Chain A
């Protein structure tokens, strides 16, 4: 049984560009959450998707947006990239209210 998968593994962008990160949840999971982990920090909650709707959102600007597809996979989009957006982006999946399981992350570098 495959765990949570994320793509790409690494990504390099320049300031002002836009980026899309992808996440496939564990089999049987219907909820996807996204987190940003800056270097040397704990993960910070960006938002959570359930039934293709954004159910909960953390303290992130509107430049961060997402989507969940009917097969429960999800995308995280970041527009107008800033240097401060450089981080490890983690996706976690769960069965609605249950425990969240994390993917390996996507390392985004903004130059």
Chain B
């Protein structure tokens, strides 16, 4: 079975500082990995995805994530935080098989950005 663990339910950074949101996954087969962002009272927006191509994945809004199989990690980073980055971030894993493509989400990390 697949699962996702997001370390740190709340991360606070200053504007301009590095953003690092941690995600570890468990999967018995090669996974597909995703980061989604959720702003208050909205649905989920895809930031980036890993589908077994390049291990360093670039997404929208300056975010990127690196797939490390040896560490079973897929941490999300952004070099310089902006106030507009404050939101809830979810890491998710899916396995594509004949049964379907269900996403398994972590519990989320709330990112706060202070000026």
Q: Which residues of B lie under 8 Å from residue A105 when comparing CB positions?
A: 42-43
Chain B interface SS verdict (over half): strand
Is A103 part of the binding interface, using a Cβ–Cβ cutoff of 8 Å? yes
Contact, CB under 8 Å: A42 / B105: yes
The CA-CA distance from A43 to B45 in the complex, in Å, is: 13
Q: Which residues of B lie under 8 Å from residue A43 when comparing CB positions?
A: 44, 90, 103, 105
Contact, CB under 8 Å: B44 / A102: yes
Task: Assess A104 versus B42: contact at CB under 8 Å? Given A48-B101, A55-B99.
Answer: yes
Tell me the number of A-to-B contacts counted with CB atoms below 8 Å.
Answer: 57
Is B17 part of the binding interface, using a Cβ–Cβ cutoff of 8 Å? no
Q: Which residues of A lie under 8 Å from residue B102 when comparing CB positions?
A: 33, 45, 48, 56, 58
Is B20 part of the binding interface, using a Cβ–Cβ cutoff of 8 Å? no
The CA-CA distance from A111 to B104 in the complex, in Å, is: 29
Contact, CB under 8 Å: A90 / B104: no
Q: Which residues of A lie under 8 Å from residue B106 when comparing CB positions?
A: 42
Is A68 part of the binding interface, using a Cβ–Cβ cutoff of 8 Å? no
Is A94 part of the binding interface, using a Cβ–Cβ cutoff of 8 Å? yes
Closest to A4 in B: B43
Contact, CB under 8 Å: B105 / A44: yes
Task: Assess A42 versus B49: contact at CB under 8 Å? Given A48-B102, A102-B44.
Answer: no
Is B96 part of the binding interface, using a Cβ–Cβ cutoff of 8 Å? yes
Closest to B107 in A: A42
Contact, CB under 8 Å: B108 / A41: yes
Contact, CB under 8 Å: A45 / B104: yes
The CA-CA distance from A90 to B103 in the complex, in Å, is: 12
Which B residues form the contact surface with A (CB < 8 A)?
34, 36, 42-46, 49, 90, 92, 96, 99-108
Closest 10 CB pairs of A and B: A56-B100, A42-B105, A102-B44, A102-B43, A45-B102, A104-B43, A55-B100, A48-B100, A56-B99, A42-B107
Question: Would you mind naming 10 contact pairs between A and B with Cβ atoms under 8 Å apart?
Answer: A33-B103, A42-B106, A43-B90, A45-B104, A56-B99, A56-B101, A92-B44, A99-B34, A100-B103, A102-B36
Which A residues form the contact surface with B (CB < 8 A)?
4, 31, 33, 35, 40-45, 48, 50, 55-56, 58, 90, 92, 94, 97, 99-105
